Structure 1
Amino acid sequence: MDLNTVVEMRDARNRGTWRPGDAWLGGGTYLFSEPQPHVRRLLDLSRMGWEPVRLTPTGGLEIAATCTIAQLSRFAGRADWPAAPLFEQCCRAFLASWKIWNMATVGGNLCNGLPAGPMISLTAALDGVCRLLSPSGSVREVPAKDFVRGAGVKDLRPGELLRSVTLPARALASRTAFRQASLYGLGRSGALLIGARDPIDGELSLTVTASTVRPIQLRFAVPPNREAVREAVEHGVRPEEYFDDIHGLPAWRRHMTFRFAEEIRRELVEEAGR
């Protein structure tokens, strides 16, 4: 879609002073998908030169905001972490064309803040930390699970830029379980839940996304039974936090959340103990 309100496009390396009407341009798959009447200037991130994915000195993984879904999928496909299959599962949850895969970015998916954003699901479930850069040059870090506060609402201050998301080595060593549902064969996720079992102390985390307006993470210090998981979901997700749109009614999303939570518990607790 043509953005007929944009009057200037600048290289983000020489962006100068941030001003109202500016927008960061990564892959552009959202920016050019619908009218953006408030946008006057695009700051192009394509020449920033950030390495898409790199291992950190502590064995974690840093994913640049400009990393495309295709780049992340290729990198994770060669990895041998126990959590490696989760990357491809979340990439495939886009149900997107090859054009979107090769243009859409991890950072764009997070910064859109849509409940169905699978990169939000991935980074929140693996205890990711978002690194944010302000126009003044200061750096701020926010847990990925807290970065999205509601449907389309992010913890981003005016002019801030998401630079990267770092996943710790301990999370990458977790056993994971993935569940996703959509009302349509090629539809947007209506519920996406991820379970992760800590490799050291056995703690189980359950991250609820897509069915809720924001990521909600539940943790169990000891292996939970069916009743414990149901009670945690019942009290951990308020009724008004279930998302309501054309891709699923709140009652259906709630039902799938309880169903998937129990399936994940069985997979990571009961079946793992056999």
Structure 2
Amino acid sequence: MDLNTITEVVRRPSERPGTDWHEGDAWLAGGTWLYSGEQPDLSRLIDLTALPWEPLVQRDEGLEISATCTIRDLYARTWPAEWTAGILFRAACEAFLSSFKVWNAATVGGNICMSLPAGPMITLTVALEAQYELWAPDGSEHFVDARDFVTGDHRNILTPGEILRRITIPAHALRKRTAHRRFSLTRLGRSTVFLIGTQRRGGDDLLLTITAGTTRPVRIAFASLPDARTLRQSIDAVPADVWFADPNGTPDHRRHLTHHFAEEIRRELNAGDLP
């Protein structure tokens, strides 16, 4: 829709765009949420897509994803055979409540910074132990664990003018065995719960990531594969106020689904028949 309060669009920002930030600005990447409703507090858009950020960079140390990488580009990439967790990228892209038209514009960073419980790029990057590189308006930068970035429904740790530059996923996480489960009320609906379990190749550990059913990502680590009772108790230890409520499910419903799918993931990884 038209944003009738916008008086300027910066098409060619500086390499460190945060240094020019002032009140009333908004970062523009895909804009799929920004243009979806009125934004009365905004007067200027800063277009990040003009910056020469490579969408995806594969290194020996792992994968770098630019914040401006589109969902289309992420979905289309073919991953090295040894990156057995690569199957999760398509699964996360397909969890979007959106059409292919949105995929062409929506960005990985935009989905993360929206910080909605059902954001599948949050699920993906938390499960794969990613680090986020953040740029501050004063030109400094720092890194944060993906698990600690989202603090609640539509809330995160970004301060005014701060920007998500890139997401870095370590190679060891990309080589893990994985299992995932997702539930929505309709085939193309928003996720009610989205769970991912990962395990070291040849190991019996479990890293369980719970999202969509919670207002922020929950990641539970087990040094060895837990039994069903221990797994259930660990999920029950998630604070009551972290479980999410909206038209797609009550907290009790989401907790029930999490118990069910987490047990399926535990059994699947225990079976040892995954790549």
TM norm structure 1? 0.95
Question: Which residue matches 1:138?
Answer: 140
Structure 1 unaligned residues grouped into runs of 5+: none
- Structure 2's unaligned 5+ residue stretches are none
Q: Which of 46, 52, 56 is matched with 1:43 structurally? A: 46
Give the aligned partner of residue 118 of structure 2: 116
The answer on whether the counterparts of 1:170 and 1:199 sit within 8 Å (CA) in structure 2 is: no
Shift of 1:12: 5.3
Tell me, in whole angstroms, the C-alpha distance in 2 between the residues paired with 1:109 and 1:140. 20
The 8 Å contact of residues 131 and 165 in structure 1, kept in 2 or not, is answered as yes
Rounded to whole Å, the distance in 1 between the matches of 2:97 and 2:258 is 20
Could you tell me which amino acid in structure 1 is paired with residue 6 of structure 2?
A: V
Letter paired with 1:45: L
Q: In structure 1, how many angstroms separate the alpha carbons of the residues matched to 2:85 and 2:204?
A: 15
Task: For 1:269, give the aligned amino acid.
Answer: N
Distance 1:178 1:34 in 2: 33
Q: Counterpart of 2:248?
A: 247
8 Å Cα contact 1:193-1:206 kept in structure 2: yes
**Is residue 182–residue 191 contact of structure 2 (8 Å, CA) maintained in 1?**
yes
User: Which residue of structure 2 lines up, in the alignment, with residue 9 of structure 1?
Assistant: 9
- Mapped to 1, the partners of 2:12 and 2:271 lie a distance apart of 50
Q: Name the CA distance, whole Å, in 1 between partners of 2:48 and 2:211.
A: 28
Query: Is 1:238–2:239 an aligned residue pair?
Result: yes
Number of residues paired by the alignment?
270
Matches of residues 72-151 of structure 1 in structure 2 within 5 Å?
Answer: 72-75=74-77, 77-80=78-81, 81-151=83-153
The answer to whether the Cα contact below 8 Å between 2:195 and 2:208 also exists between their aligned partners in 1 is: yes
Choose the corresponding residue for 2:220, options 214, 218, 222.
218
| Alignment partners' CA distance in 1, 2:202 and 2:24 | 47
SS in 2 for 1:83: helix
Structure 1 Cα separation of the partners of residues 94 and 222 of structure 2: 28
In structure 2, how many angstroms separate the alpha carbons of the residues matched to 1:114 and 1:35? 18
- Deviation of 1:17 after TM superposition, in Å, equals 2.2
Identity over aligned pairs, percent: 48
C-alpha distance in structure 1 between counterparts of 2:200 and 2:12, whole Å: 39
Q: Which amino acid aligns with 2:9?
A: M
Identify which of 185, 188, 191 aligns with 1:189.
191
Tell me what 1:56 maps to.
Answer: 59
The answer (yes or no) to whether the contact 2:60–2:171 under 8 Å persists in 1 is: no
CA distance in 1, matches of 2:204, 2:169: 18
Separation in 1, partners of 2:200, 2:23? 43
- Tell me how far apart the structure 1 counterparts of residues 170 and 74 of structure 2 sit (CA, whole Å): 16
AA aligned opposite 2:244? F
Task: Name the counterpart of 1:262.
Answer: 263
Task: Answer yes or no: is 1:26 the counterpart of 2:29.
Answer: yes
CA deviation profile, 1:112-133 (whole Å, cap 9, x unmatched)? 0000000000000000000001
Structure 1 stretch 5-14 or stretch 137-146: which is displaced more?
Answer: 5-14
Listed one character per residue, the Cα deviations across residues 215-263 of structure 1 (whole Å, up to 9, x for unaligned) are: 000000011111111011111x111111111121212111111111101
Displacement over 4 Å in runs of 4+: none
